[in-house]
Each structure stands twice: as C-alpha cells, then as structure tokens.
C-alpha cells in the first residue's frame, strides 16, 4: 500500500505518493499566503485526493510530513514554532490524519528527511554513516550514525550545523549568536557581508545608489571570480573556507563515511566539491580518503522521498 509524503518549505509544498520507495505521483504547489497551518490543511487534502485518484489508490497506510523546524518525531510535535505556521501545534494533526485517511502521521525535520531521501535513493546509498549539509538561504544539516537518524535529547542533534560557531568574533547571526556558519557564509548573509567590505563600493557588484546589489548572490560571485574579479575571488574563497571549516567540524562530530552537500550553491559544485574534499583530506585528523564529499542527487525531491521512507519504515 502507498503512503503520502509532504515536504513543507517556506514558499513551496512538495507532495509525493510513494510505494516501496517509488514515487507514483508528485505535485509541487505554492504555499497559501496565510500564515496559518490550518489554511494549509485543505490544500493538503485536495492534493492527496488528486494524487490518489490519478494513481488509482483507494487507501494509504501512512502520511509523512517534513517541517523546516525542530520536530519531536516521537510525540509528533514542532518544538520551535515555525514563524509561518505558529498554529501547527494547536491542531490535532494525528487526529486529522486518522480521520481523513485512517492513517498514522509521521513528522520529521526537513533536513533529516532530505538526508534519508539521499541515503535511500541518492548520493548516500551504500553507507550507514552519513552527514548531509544543505547550503542555500541558510545552512541545514542532519546526521545518520550506524543507520540511525541522530536526534538527541531535544531533537536538535545534527540539525544546527548552520549555527555552529566558526568565528567567535564574527558577525551577528539571526539566531542572536556571533560567527555562525550561516552568518559568515549563506545566501541571506552574503549581501551584508559583501557590503561591509571596503572594496564593495568600487566593485562590479555595487549599485549606483548603493542599495542592495542586484547580483549579490553566490552564482554571480562564483562566475565573477572565475572571470578574474579579485573582490569576487576573495568573497568566494572566504565562503569556501567557511563551508569547509563547518563541514570539517561536522566530520569530527559525527565521523561519517560520506558528506552529501545540497542546496542552491551547488550550481558551483565543480568548484565547491573538490575544494572541500581537498580541505578535508589535508586538514582532517583522519586516515587519508576516509571521508568522501559528494553532491546531492535529488536536490528537489530528497525530502519527499525521505518522508515516504519514514512513513513506510519509521526509523
Ligand atoms: Zn546562528
């Protein structure tokens, strides 16, 4: 029997109808503009009904939902209220799933779901010791040790790789701390990091009116660096060093066999992967070639595939 897997992002909701790891059908819809999770439920009901009808499936045996926040995946509660859906914990989601589909609901953090998707059907196949890092607007992470998802006593374990401190005298992060991996090198912090550099005003990135630069994104930084722009090259290299330091910390913390990297910056995987692989090879106090650094294979659907696996086989 099939299960339904849902990956709730900030702007998109991805749906999958999954049977024995195979995606029977999928959908990708815009999140309703309301901040209420109650407003999302009718959208979920409608998409699930459409997928079931299309695939000729009359019943489902489980439903899995990935949330971009810390999730208590034993009691199926959100631990830090996700700003967009701060009413989610007030809703009886388990009762809702039971009433609608007579099916159990499994919830998990989205980075853990993506790791499970890559582990089962992507770049993590063949190993039970895996770290996944997603570098985009923020930096997400998750760890699998001996085939078990690492959760910890507050369901934080492995998830806060973006807020590990890589520079204790660094810049202020949105979490309130200073020098986090995210505040040093992620898409949200990049424009401010660039503008704080004295070379910025004279750089190719500067806008005439000194407003937010039009192309202060990693794609532009990498392509201008490639073309020989010295400022872009410096920004690129600092970012590479920040990510490499953060990933080395995760390697020391979780001792994986493989690190899977995903996220928006992977348009520049041809530069990022060999750099981080070499950094780990040279800097890690580990046997040579002990850790393989690879690109995610299912950047768009790993969360759905992982949630499908967790709904079929809770870890
Ligand atoms: Zn932080």
C-alpha 162 – ligand 1 centre gap (Å):
7
C-alpha 99 – ligand 1 centre gap (Å):
39
C-alpha 182 – ligand 1 centre gap (Å):
6
Residue 241: strand, helix, or coil: helix
C-alpha 192 – ligand 1 centre gap (Å):
15
pLDDT category at 87 given cuts 50, 70, 90 is confident
Distance CA(204)–CA(183), nearest Å, equals 23
As a three-state string, the secondary structure of 108-163 is: EEHHHHHHHHHHHHCCCCCCCCEEEEEECCCEEEEEEECCEECCCCCCCCCCCHHH
C-alpha 75 – ligand 1 centre gap (Å):
27
C-alpha 45 – ligand 1 centre gap (Å):
35
Tell me the per-residue pLDDT of 148-167, one tens digit each, with 9 for 90 and over. Answer: 999 999 999 999 999 999 99
Identify whether the C-beta of residue 112 lies closer than 8 Å to the C-beta of residue 149. Answer: yes
Mean pLDDT of 186-191: 95
Report which listed range, 3-12, 55-64, 82-91, is most confident.
Answer: 55-64
Does the pTM surpass 0.75? The reply is yes
Q: Which domains does the chain have, with CATH numbers?
A: 2-115+301-312 (3.30.420.40), 125-295 (3.30.420.40)
C-alpha 140 – ligand 1 centre gap (Å):
11
C-alpha 177 – ligand 1 centre gap (Å):
5
C-alpha 145 – ligand 1 centre gap (Å):
24
Mean pLDDT of 225-245: 97
Q: Is a pLDDT exceeding 80 seen at residue 110? A: yes
C-alpha 82 – ligand 1 centre gap (Å):
16
C-alpha 149 – ligand 1 centre gap (Å):
23
The count of residues in the chain is 315
Identify whether the C-beta of residue 231 lies closer than 8 Å to the C-beta of residue 196. Answer: no
C-alpha 183 – ligand 1 centre gap (Å):
6
Distance CA(205)–CA(220), nearest Å, equals 9
Q: Identify the CA nearest to 305 among candidates 115, 147, 144.
A: 115
C-alpha 165 – ligand 1 centre gap (Å):
8
C-alpha 36 – ligand 1 centre gap (Å):
26
The predicted pLDDT at position 60 comes to 97
Q: Is a pLDDT exceeding 90 seen at residue 284? A: no
C-alpha 274 – ligand 1 centre gap (Å):
26
Q: Is a pLDDT exceeding 90 seen at residue 61? A: yes
Mean pLDDT of 162-174: 96
C-alpha 170 – ligand 1 centre gap (Å):
11
Tell me the per-residue pLDDT of 194-227, one tens digit each, with 9 for 90 and over. Answer: 999 999 989 988 875 556 566 789 999 999 999 9
């Amino acid at each position: 029997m099939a299960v339904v897997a849902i990956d709730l992002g900030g702007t998109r909701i991805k749906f999958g109808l999954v049977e024995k790891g195979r995606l029977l059908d999928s959908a990708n819809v815009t999140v309703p503009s309301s901040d209420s999770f109650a407003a999302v439920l009718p959208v979920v009901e409608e998409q699930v009904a459409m997928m079931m009808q299309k695939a000729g499936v009359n019943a489902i045996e489980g439903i899995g939902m990935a949330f971009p926040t810390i999730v208590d995946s034993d009691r199926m509660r959100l631990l830090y209220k996700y700003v967009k859906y701060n009413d989610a914990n007030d809703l009886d989601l388990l009762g809702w799933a039971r009433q609608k589909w007579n099916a159990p609901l499994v919830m998990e953090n989205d980075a853990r779901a993506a790791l499970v998707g890559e582990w089962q059907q992507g770049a993590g196949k063949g190993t039970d010791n895996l770290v996944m890092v997603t570098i985009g607007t923020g930096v997400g992470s998750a760890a699998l040790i001996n085939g078990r998802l690492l959760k910890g006593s507050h369901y934080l374990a492995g998830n806060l790789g973006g807020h590990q401190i890589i520079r204790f005298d660094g810049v202020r992060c949105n979490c309130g701390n200073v020098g986090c991996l995210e505040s040093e090198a992620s898409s949200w912090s990049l424009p401010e990091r660039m503008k704080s550099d004295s070379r910025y005003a004279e750089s190719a990135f500067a806008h005439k009116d000194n407003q937010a630069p039009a192309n202060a994104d990693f794609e532009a930084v990498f392509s201008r660096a490639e073309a020989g722009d010295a400022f872009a090259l410096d920004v690129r290299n600092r970012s590479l060093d920040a990510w490499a330091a953060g990933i080395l910390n995760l390697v020391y913390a979780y001792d994986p066999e493989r690190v899977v990297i995903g996220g928006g910056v992977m348009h520049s995987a041809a530069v990022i992967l060999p750099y981080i692989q070499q950094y780990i090879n040279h800097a890690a106090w580990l046997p040579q070639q002990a850790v393989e650094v690879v690109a995610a294979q299912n950047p768009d659907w790993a969360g759905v595939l992982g949630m499908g696996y967790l709904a079929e086989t809770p870890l």
